[in-house]
Every structure is written in C-alpha cells, then in structure tokens.
Amino acid sequence: MNYVDRVIEEIKKKNPNEPEFHQAATEILNGLRPVIERHPEYEKAALLERFTEPERTVMFRVPWVDDAGMVRVNKGYRVQFNSAIGPYKGGLRFHPSVNLSIIKFLGLEQILKNSLTGLPIGGGKGGSDFDPKGKSDNEIMNFCQSFMTELQRHIGQDTDVPAGDIGVGAREIGYLFGQYKRLRNEHVGVLTGRGLTYGGSLARKQATGYGLVYMVEEAMKCRGDSLTGKTVVISGAGNVAIYACVKAQELGAKVVAMYDSNGYIYDKNGIDIAVVKQIKEVERARIKEYVNRVEGAEYHEGCKGIWTVPCDLALPCATQNEIDEASAKILVENGVKYVGEGANMPTTLEGIAVFQAAGIVFLPAKAANAGGVATSALEMAQSSGRMYWTFEEVDAKLKNIMINIYHNMDNAAKEYGVEGDYVSGANIAGFMKVAEAMMAQGIV
C-alpha cells in the first residue's frame, strides 16, 4: 500500500468516531499525492503521521451558573495542532454540535490556511458544546469567564492566540479577554477579533467575507469575467455571510438568497443587507423576520432548498457539509459557474467531485476564507507594535493577501500537473512551507 493510503487508513483506525476529521484528512492527503511522489524522504521522516497528529490536545470541564441559579457543565477544547511556522492560531467555536472530531478537522485545515496567508502563524482550534442561543448576556459572561479560567493556562501571545468562530463574536471575545487580563494581569494580544477600544484591528470584522469576495473577483478577472450583474446565493447570516454579501453587492453582484439555521430568504430584487444586519447582528433574531420588513421577499423553512435557487456564484458561509452531492448537482444543472467556500469544509467530498467534474471554478475554504485569520495576524502585528493602521490600510493588505493566495494555489496546481484543481493547489502550496519547517526542526 502506498504511503498516503496507509496514513489515511491509520488515521481512521487510531481516531475512531471522528468522521469530520477523517473527511478533512482524506481531502488534504489526497491533494498531497503529487508532493509525496516528489519527496520520498517524507515517508522516512513520518512527516504525514506527525502532520496529522496534534502536538497537544487539551480537554476540560466548564462549569457555570445560569440565571436560575442552576449549575451547568459543558465540555471545553483546545487543539494545538502545529507550531512549525509560528504560534498556534485559530478560532473558538461555541455550538452544541462541537466535539473533538470537529475541532480536529478545523485545526488540521487551519495549519494549511495559516501557511497560505504567508504570515508566521501555526494552526490550532478550540471551542465548546455550549449553545449561546437563548442565553442572557449574564449567562454568556459566566460561561466565557469559566472557559477562560482554564484556557488561560495554555495560551499566550507567543504561544497560542485564539479568535472567534461560530457563536463567538465581539461580545464573547470581550468577556474572554477581560477574564484573561484579570487572571494574568497582562494586556496583550492573546486573542484577536478584539474591540477597537482594546487592541482590535479595523476591518477584522469584515475580513473573512470581504477576503472571500476579493478572491472570487480575482478568479473571475483571470477569466475575463467580473461580478457585475452576477446572481449570488450565500448560505448563513452570520459574520462571514453578511460581509461577503456587502462586498459582493458593492462590486455589482445581486445576492438573492441567504439563510440561518431555520430556513432561507429569497429576495428577487436583491437582499437588503441593512435589514439582515439589524435582525441578526443587533436583534439576534431569526432571519424569517426579513419578510415582515421587505416587500416581495419569500421565506422557506429548512436550509437545503437554498441550493435550488439558480445562481452564477454560490458562497456557502454557514457551516460544514452544507452542500452534498445532490445539492452540488442541482447547482450545476442551474448553471453555477463559481463556488467560493466562506465556511470551513461546507462541501462534502462527493459535492467537490461534482463541481470539479463539471469544470466549475471551485475555491476551497482553506484559501478562500483565509482573509479572517490573515487579518487576525495583522491585528497581532499592530498589537506588538503598539500602533493602529487605518481601515483602508488593513483592507488593502487583505486584498493583496487574497490575490497572492489565489495565484500561489493556481501556480502550485500548475507546477504539480493538476491545473485548475484548487483543492490540490491550496493543499500543496500550504503544505510545502510547513513541511520544510518541520523537516528543518528535526524529529519533534
């Protein structure tokens, strides 16, 4: 059995009941086959085995008290996956579906994503099965303080710098940072996504969504195409989805559908994103409220139907495995030309195969949504330098980074004989830098 197949098999055997981790590892290792052929020395160094085994996994109890005085207990995680090229960096996710498999898949992806940004950041990820939905601000604060009371032992501005993800936005980062500062007595850049009054960076909030659209724009430009007049479907109504919508509309596209975890809205006149922001960011309410405020809009219960809405560009920006084989087929039949992944692993392996067979321009998450972590690294640079850049400066750097990532993955795909296959291109371009650093640092 060849080296890649053997490692995939071992991963499944050694990490039972971790389907999301198996899926991400399989996708990545399959993409690395041309690299392994060219570098037989990696097998002797057990490079793939080391690359797919976290350097450290921390799991802990998070007890907290709800508003009724009841004690609740959640699970906490931090997977410090790879620090070959810099301190661990990656978000925290608070969602009831969180388990070790999900955190490990996200952490593994993060290593390559962070490498692709060209910035010195390693890969990590963390979170909890805590569900912020329906909780009061006081309950959120109690939970965040308890979570950080344990997490602070394991992180630090030069060790591991967490950020937000699903369920962890500005409010949660504020409470987490406050508790870190109180326990450690240091005001340092230990978390990114901080508020602008305490070390945050302008444009961080917009970065993932904007970055995604900058990459799509570049892919279109290279094909003599543009966003002007294009019809777009975006899943999700959170941080990534909202700012992807803002930027796509600014560049002349029409976004006609979005969803939250209950159902999707369709607005043939183009989504009024100010209304979505008011509902989701300010009121923390359900997206179906949109139809009460915008004439002519429709609401459909359930999420999956969103992929039956015809579009030129699909931007899945909610969560993993949103687009399966059947949804991918419908999108292709309805004429989709570009798919850009804003969420992490939103397309199943079977879905990706459908897009690639149909010749769709498919921009994978680890490249297309790297704008968030890239801007987090810019936040770290501003913190260490005790200075601030303007919105325009950060935005210009972000755009430049996204364009560079696009060309790096495009070039890597060409160099390794898989032109246009950006799944392989992104995996190869991200992996080569990490592999070289790991080989140089000896058996660690």
Q: What is the 3-state secondary structure (H, E, C) of 266-295?
A: ECCCCCCHHHHHHHHHHCCCCHHHHHHHCC
201 binds ligand NDP (CB under 6 A): no
Tell me which residue has tokens 């797919």: 52
Contacts to ligand NDP from residues 202-231, by CB under 6 A:
208
> What's the rounded Cα separation, in Å, for the pair 362 and 118?
21
Lay out the site mask for ligand NDP across 72-111 (x = CB under 6 A, - = otherwise).
----------------------------------------
Q: Give the tokens for residue 443.
A: 């058996």
Window contacting ligand NDP (CB under 6 A); options: 80-88, 114-122, 235-243, 351-359? 235-243
Question: Could you tell me the smallest distance in angstroms from the CB atom of residue 96 to ligand NDP?
Answer: 9
Q: Of the candidates 353, 385, 269, which has an alpha carbon nearest to the alpha carbon of residue 31?
A: 353
CA 212, distance to chain mean position in Å, is 11
| Rounded Cα distance, 63 and 75, in Å | 9
Strands (E), 253-385: 254-259, 263-266, 298-301, 313-316, 338-340, 361-363
Q: Is 237 in the site for ligand NDP (CB under 6 A)?
A: yes
Is position 411 an interface residue for ligand NDP (rule: CB under 6 A)? no
Per CB under 6 A, the segment of 164-172, 224-232, 304-312, 349-357 that binds ligand NDP is 164-172
Binding-site string for ligand NDP from residue 276 to residue 315, where x marks contact by CB under 6 A and - marks none: ---------------------------x------------
- Binding of ligand NDP by 372 (CB under 6 A): yes
166 is a contact residue toward ligand NDP (CB under 6 A): yes
Q: SS3 of 37, please?
A: helix
Cβ neighbours, 10 Å, residue 135: 17
| Smallest distance from ligand NDP to CB 84, Å | 21
CB of 182 to ligand NDP, least distance (A): 25
* Joined tokens for residue 341: 């992944």
- For the chain, give me the number of helices (H) and strands (E)? 18, 12
Contact segment (CB under 6 A) with ligand NDP among 174-182, 216-224, 232-240, 288-296 equals 232-240
State yes or no: residue 344 binds ligand NDP (CB under 6 A): yes
Is position 44 annotated as part of the catalytic site? no
User: What CA–CA distances, in Å, run from 223 to 218, 226, 338, 361?
Assistant: 9, 9, 11, 10
Applying CB under 6 A, among 162, 238, 351, 364 the residue interacting with ligand NDP is 238
> DSSP label at 321?
T
Spatial separation of the C-alpha atoms in residues 192 and 381, rounded to whole Å? 11
User: Considering only residues 128, 319, 408, 427, which one is a binding residue for ligand NDP as defined by CB under 6 A?
Assistant: 319
Say whether residue 347 binds ligand NDP (CB under 6 A): no
Count of residues engaged in binding ligand NDP, rule: CB under 6 A: 23
Binder of ligand NDP out of 342, 364, 425, 430 (CB under 6 A): 342
Window of 239-247, 328-336, 384-392, 419-427 that interacts with ligand NDP by CB under 6 A: 239-247
Alpha helices (runs of H) in 52-168, residue ranges in sequence order: 100-116, 137-151
Q: Which of 104, 113, 125, 366 is catalytic?
A: 125
| Active site (catalytic) residues | 125
Enumerate binding residues for ligand NDP (CB under 6 A): 164-167, 169, 208, 236-241, 260-261, 303, 317-319, 342-344, 369, 372
